[in-house]
Structure 1
Amino acid sequence: MVLKVFFPSCCSSAESGILVGRWISEQRSAVILAVVHFPFIPAQVKQYLSQVQQVTKVSVSVVGSWSNSKQEREESLSEFLEDLGTIFSHEPWIQISKEGDSKFWSCSTLQRHSDNPKKEEIILVYYDQRKVMLSHLHPPLDTSSSSDPEEEEASKLSAIFGTVARSKMLFMTDRYDDGPIKLTHWQSDGVEASIIVELMKQASGPGCSVSMAAEGLSLVFPWCFCRVLNFWPLSFLWSKLSTCEQLGHRLQHLQVISSNKKAQNQTQLMRKANIFVSLLVDVALGILLMSWLYRKNRIGHLADTLIPAADHVAEGLQDLLQWLMGAPAGLKMNRALDQVLGRFFLYHIHLWISYIHLMSPFIEMILWYVGLSACLGLTVALCILSDIIALLTFHIYCFYVYGARLYCLKIYGLSSLWRLFRGKKWNVLRQRVDSCSYDLDQLFIGTLLFTILLFLLPTTALYYLVFTLLRLLVVVVQGLIHLLVDLIDSLPLYSIILRLCRSYRLAAGVKFRVLEQQEGKPLRLLMQINPLSYGSVVQMYRLPTYSCYPKDSWTSLCKKLFLGELIYPWKHKGEKQD
């Protein structure tokens, strides 16, 4: 039989006494938590340990004796420590003592109540109690590929980590406190390593630093929004403008971090901390952007360059339409339809430029107030930029919709007439193609319409192709902006900083290093914590975002573009497209 004893390295210099810990019978392991040194009364020790068990729900008991021969050299002390096994009656009784001038400790077991005592092979594992206490052991991310031995080993480690983590009350008392029981554990190393400080940090949570005004806003805003946004125009704008979506997303974050509800587990605590740090960094970057915008009259320079930029884009579109109304790339177009479509789009450009020039006196004032919104966060400013791009390119969107609808109408008309030639028709009720017989008049009209649509298709397809490419260019720019917003919203900054500064707090497992291995002596190992990789940290603690994810494959997207179906970039995950 192999007996594993997990001994805290911080207790190596403790005075002689008894070992307090938990015996895990199914693993044949003993997790030492503290050393109770002399003088003590056994009855008071039992009473104190029973109180600890009631609070922590951990079966803490006296599992052995501890003898430091550097401090106590009398032979009577070792005999007295052995006699303590009869008082506390733990089987097996673990004895750890100093081995002369060696820097390691000898470990043996004593079985008083066994008629046939067996010699057990002992493995003495040293561990850093502070790191194990504060670390959170994460399960494997890919549980489908993990084998049974790995899962069993993970459960054993979780039992050891959980024993140390739940024994918080035991670490509230140390050898410097005035009381009948004096303990030595990792808190005794110094004030900076105090578990009380760490527990206060965890109990307080990052949300306690949020002001009461933020909490009041988080309570008042949802009620106001629910009332106001029930009206149709506001509800439509709220669902379509990315700025409104981002404000609602940040409002939910504000509610989470200002909530008085205590985190139930480590995952909720980390999520709250990540949200707080993400919001703090977002606001800090927004304030830096706002300070940069209001220096050296950059708002005025931006307003002055906006109108010439809009005129330049309009001139480019007019030249493009003039090129399409001629013979683009030597293609022969339907001149009548080409002239009608070209003049139709030119008129829209004229209306748009007139509207921009009408708004030009107010653009600087609008940009000045829009710049103030950067104090709400860099993501809000980026979403406002995305909405401004959408408003400034609204005429391109209109061109895309007109061209797509006209192209889609001709494609579906040609497909329907093609079924007419083959003696088929589309059954609307059964959603399938059925056979059908047509008379001569129907075939004649169908042939005439098919010929007209087929010869008009190249002209329509060219306009649709050009405006679709322009629309895709705008969508790509907006997509890059939203990718940056998603990165700021979803990146778990607190977890990454914690992984960088205190890697032991996020544990993926442990590794054992052999300290000493001699025949006839216990195997001595050092348990070290393996931190999570940065990729695993991001994958595990990534914050959810409101933005859309591509629900269509590239094949489906290309099919929609070929058939002329509209593609709305603002469709979010879970919504249905018309």
Structure 2
Amino acid sequence: MVQVYFPNDLIKLCKKSKEIDHFLIGYKFNRIYIVIQLLDTAVDFNKLPSHLSDLKIIGSISNSDKPVDNDYDLHLSFDTLPYFKSSVNDSFIILFDPPKFRNLEYFSIEPILLQSTGRELLTSDQASLINKLNVIDPITESPNNDKNSFISDDIILEKINLSLKVRLELKAWMHENSENQSHNYHSVDQVIQNKIINVIVFLVSLLQTLIIFLIWLINYQIKSVSLVSISKVFRQLDLRLQQLNYFPIQFLCYYNKNLLYGGSKLLYELKLPIFNSNLNINNSNYINLFNTLWLIFNDIMFGITAYRLIFDNYERIIPVLHEGVIQKYLFSEMLDVISWVSVKHPAGFKLNIKLGHFMGDLYSWTLKFWKFLVNDSIQNLSPDFKFKLFIAVKIFLKILCYGGGLSFLIGFCIDIINALTVHIYCFYYTSTKIYKRQLDIIKSLFQLFRGKKYNVLRNRIDNLNNYEDDDSSLEIDQLLLGTLLFMILILLLPTVFAFYLMFFLMQLTVLLAINFLENLQILVNFTPMFVILLKLKNSNRLQGGIIFTFLKMSNHSSYLKLSNKSLSYSEIFRDFFKIFTDSKTFRDTLIQFFLQGELISIKHNYEMKFHYLMLPEVYEKTINIWKYF
């Protein structure tokens, strides 16, 4: 089975020079031929440089019917398409457009990995298709490799991917003498360029050292508490600094391929989440770099716009926030709701008045104290101090929006919500603990009706017979006391549950507001905007596999076309949508936690976002990139 890979652009060359015989320059793997270039005259390929040493004359192509006067294996003729001069059984001529390597175009079976959420790279359908392809493809033996190579493996596709690059290097080698005339001019230029590069390297490495120190500082824990763990602004700052710290490696790997394919072990030392294979490394590196730059630019633009909208309308926004939200909903309305539940029999349920009064007074006193700390203290400030405070907040928000963007402003809003609603969380925490403790006691006392008892030491339920005592009257007194306590707690449970339900709904409202803001922050930080633009502009950069299209059958040969399969929109957004569910969750166990009296909260997996952006785990070693530069 003979297979010839023939570039489409060489067909145009054959059409222009039909009367000229050409030598086919390329690679041979047993009965697979890869054509790279056409030459009019034979060249001594023994003098080629080492990186082109496997390049050779693999055959010839001509339009004439004269007998072949060389001993090459491959002899083609040309009409509108190349074909075999002699009849060859099971022959295939596969046409392809040479990938533009500078534009990061290439052929690859494995789809490019742009983001990762720690899942399998291939679906079961993709894996089955690849297995079928490996079974159907002809097996050939490479002279430089003892392993079997397939038509679709990296050995073949790598030669096709580098076809244009090899052409340029071959042309440069053939015109080597003409380049030596400008050697002195370029040497002076090179010295100046090296000095400029050294200055840039020093400044960037200094900035990178500062960034690494800031990352360490905001993550430094004092009694298991750090700035990142208590503030969404610092959490966003940590993410942004991690991105800036990784920029030099992404940029240098794009312009210096040896860092990717050479002997550098830095990328493995950084512990990247998933390391792409072959050319996918460079392409995904390039796409993630410019997608991050694009998102940061958009983030800052949105932040500047939001800042101007806020301070152009601050005279209307501040009264709404102070009087409408803080004073009305967080204090006055909440105080009315607490009084309604504790005294006025909510929804017609007659609760225990004494317990309702006690719990209502407890929460009301705490709420009034919180109002004094937050609301009244602000109102008692002098006009001069209020003006200075307003200027300080304005400067802070300007730095936040102009320097960080909308994502930092959203993080600041989440921190403000957490600070202003801390009393709601305290009420919810207290009511949940009371309700949970009462449920546990009721469940324990309920065992008395079954003749059993809960053993707190062994965490199990034992029979009362295990605790027999000579004084039977003591056992009877214990049963009566347990029954009495059980009935009291059952009767008081609706009152406790009413307060628990009220504060549960309040805390749930706060969590839903925070969840909405966090989803908005995810949209600003992680939307693959550059990937979408790249798909619209040049989808060949988003490799999702290869396609063989049957063209026709002529001159005892089957003509196929090799082309790229671009990533679909579902594949592009597959991991993006997982961030909304995998990076944070509290909805899956909401009803169960509510009935059991467990605290609900948004459980975050912050490592997921670093994983999705393919950021290194060992961020402090990124400074070592300059050793290989």
Question: Same fold by TM (over 0.5)?
Answer: yes
CA offset digits 1:529-553 (Å, max 9, x no partner): 2212122233479998998433x78
Change (3 A) 1:51 1:371: same
Residues 278, 491 of structure 1: 8 Å contact kept: no
In structure 2, the residue matched to 1:302 is 317
Change (3 A) 1:355 1:234: farther
In 2: Cα distance, 1:411 partner to 1:341 partner: 18
Gaps of at least 5 residues in structure 1 are 110-117, 183-209
Structure 2 residue corresponding to 1:568, chosen from 577, 583, 601: 601
Residues 95, 107 of structure 1: 8 Å contact kept: yes
Residues 302, 405 of structure 2: 8 Å contact kept: no
Matched residue SS, 1:235: coil
In structure 1, the residue matched to 2:335 is 318
In 2: Cα distance, 1:338 partner to 1:130 partner: 76
In structure 1, the residue matched to 2:85 is 108
Q: CA deviation at 1:328?
A: 0.7
Residues 454, 461 of structure 2: 8 Å contact kept: yes
In structure 2, the residue matched to 1:249 is 239
Given residue 399 of structure 2, which amino acid in structure 1 is its aligned partner?
L
Q: CA deviation at 1:330?
A: 0.9
Structure 2 residue corresponding to 1:347, chosen from 362, 365, 372: 365
Residues 135, 506 of structure 1: 8 Å contact kept: no
In 2: Cα distance, 1:504 partner to 1:561 partner: 51
Matched residue SS, 2:350: coil
In structure 2, the residue matched to 1:29 is 32
Structure 1 residue corresponding to 2:25, chosen from 11, 20, 26: 20
In structure 2, the residue matched to 1:286 is 300
CA offset digits 1:61-119 (Å, max 9, x no partner): 3211122x4xxx7x7xx55xx3332xxxx5xx1122223xxx2233235xxxxxxxx84
In structure 2, the residue matched to 1:94 is 74
Matched residue SS, 1:83: coil
Change (3 A) 1:516 1:211: same
Structure 1 residue corresponding to 2:167, chosen from 164, 167, 171: 171
Residues 435, 497 of structure 2: 8 Å contact kept: yes
In 2: Cα distance, 1:299 partner to 1:215 partner: 42
In structure 2, the residue matched to 1:129 is 98
Change (3 A) 1:566 1:6: same
Matched residue SS, 1:129: coil
Structure 2 residue corresponding to 1:443, chosen from 451, 474, 479: 479
Number of residue pairs matched? 509
Structure 2 residue 421 is the aligned partner of structure 1 residue 393: yes
Residues 425, 436 of structure 1: 8 Å contact kept: yes
In structure 1, the residue matched to 2:158 is 162
Structure 2 residue 228 is the aligned partner of structure 1 residue 238: yes
CA offset digits 1:364-385 (Å, max 9, x no partner): 3454113421221322221111
Given residue 216 of structure 2, which amino acid in structure 1 is its aligned partner?
C
In 2: Cα distance, 1:256 partner to 1:565 partner: 41
Given residue 27 of structure 2, which amino acid in structure 1 is its aligned partner?
R
In structure 2, the residue matched to 1:9 is 8
In structure 2, the residue matched to 1:359 is 378
Residues 274, 493 of structure 1: 8 Å contact kept: no
Change (3 A) 1:150 1:348: farther
Given residue 171 of structure 1, which amino acid in structure 2 is its aligned partner?
R
Name which structure has the greater RCO, CA cutoff 8 Å, separation 6+: 2
CA offset digits 1:171-191 (Å, max 9, x no partner): 324669863899xxxxxxxxx
Structure 2 residue corresponding to 1:522, chosen from 551, 557, 565: 557
In 1: Cα distance, 2:225 partner to 2:491 partner: 44
Residues 490, 542 of structure 1: 8 Å contact kept: no
Residues 345, 399 of structure 1: 8 Å contact kept: yes
In 1: Cα distance, 2:243 partner to 2:578 partner: 10
In 2: Cα distance, 1:462 partner to 1:340 partner: 14
Q: CA deviation at 1:348?
A: 2.5
Residues 300, 364 of structure 1: 8 Å contact kept: no
Matched residue SS, 1:303: helix
Aligned pairs (5 A) from 1:60-99: 60-67=55-62, 69=63, 82-85=68-71, 90=72, 93-99=73-79
Q: CA deviation at 1:571?
A: 4.5
Q: CA deviation at 1:122?
A: 2.1
In 2: Cα distance, 1:268 partner to 1:536 partner: 18
In 2: Cα distance, 1:143 partner to 1:225 partner: 36
Structure 2 residue 182 is the aligned partner of structure 1 residue 149: no
In structure 1, the residue matched to 2:216 is 226
Gaps of at least 5 residues in structure 2 are 112-120, 138-149, 179-199, 254-258, 262-277, 380-385, 468-474, 609-629
Change (3 A) 1:167 1:181: farther
Residues 584, 603 of structure 2: 8 Å contact kept: no
Q: CA deviation at 1:419?
A: 2.3
CA offset digits 1:179-211 (Å, max 9, x no partner): 3899xxxxxxxxxxxxxxxxxxxxxxxxxxx99
In 1: Cα distance, 2:97 partner to 2:11 partner: 11
In 2: Cα distance, 1:214 partner to 1:472 partner: 46
Structure 2 residue 405 is the aligned partner of structure 1 residue 372: no
Matched residue SS, 1:106: strand
Residues 410, 457 of structure 1: 8 Å contact kept: yes
CA offset digits 1:238-271 (Å, max 9, x no partner): 2132222221122211111123564455444424
Residues 218, 238 of structure 2: 8 Å contact kept: no
CA offset digits 1:445-491 (Å, max 9, x no partner): 21222122111110110111111111111111111211222233333
Residues 17, 65 of structure 1: 8 Å contact kept: yes
In structure 1, the residue matched to 2:522 is 486
Residues 36, 181 of structure 1: 8 Å contact kept: no
Matched residue SS, 2:299: helix
Aligned pairs (5 A) from 1:203-214: none
Residues 560, 566 of structure 1: 8 Å contact kept: yes
In 2: Cα distance, 1:463 partner to 1:253 partner: 46
Residues 455, 461 of structure 2: 8 Å contact kept: yes
In structure 1, the residue matched to 2:540 is 504
Q: CA deviation at 1:225?
A: 4.9
Residues 98, 161 of structure 2: 8 Å contact kept: no
The TM-score, its normalising length taken from structure 2, stands at: 0.72
Which deviates more from structure 2 when the two are superposed, residues 210-219 or residues 466-475? 210-219
Change (3 A) 1:496 1:510: same
Q: CA deviation at 1:427?
A: 4.2
Residues 546, 572 of structure 1: 8 Å contact kept: no
Matched residue SS, 2:37: strand
Q: CA deviation at 1:414?
A: 0.8
In 2: Cα distance, 1:119 partner to 1:276 partner: 49
Which deviates more from structure 2 when the two are superposed, residues 321-330 or residues 429-438? 429-438
CA RMSD of aligned residues (A): 3.6
In 2: Cα distance, 1:303 partner to 1:136 partner: 57
Matched residue SS, 1:66: strand
In 2: Cα distance, 1:211 partner to 1:383 partner: 33
In 1: Cα distance, 2:136 partner to 2:318 partner: 64
In 1: Cα distance, 2:440 partner to 2:226 partner: 30
Matched residue SS, 1:373: helix
In 2: Cα distance, 1:278 partner to 1:527 partner: 32
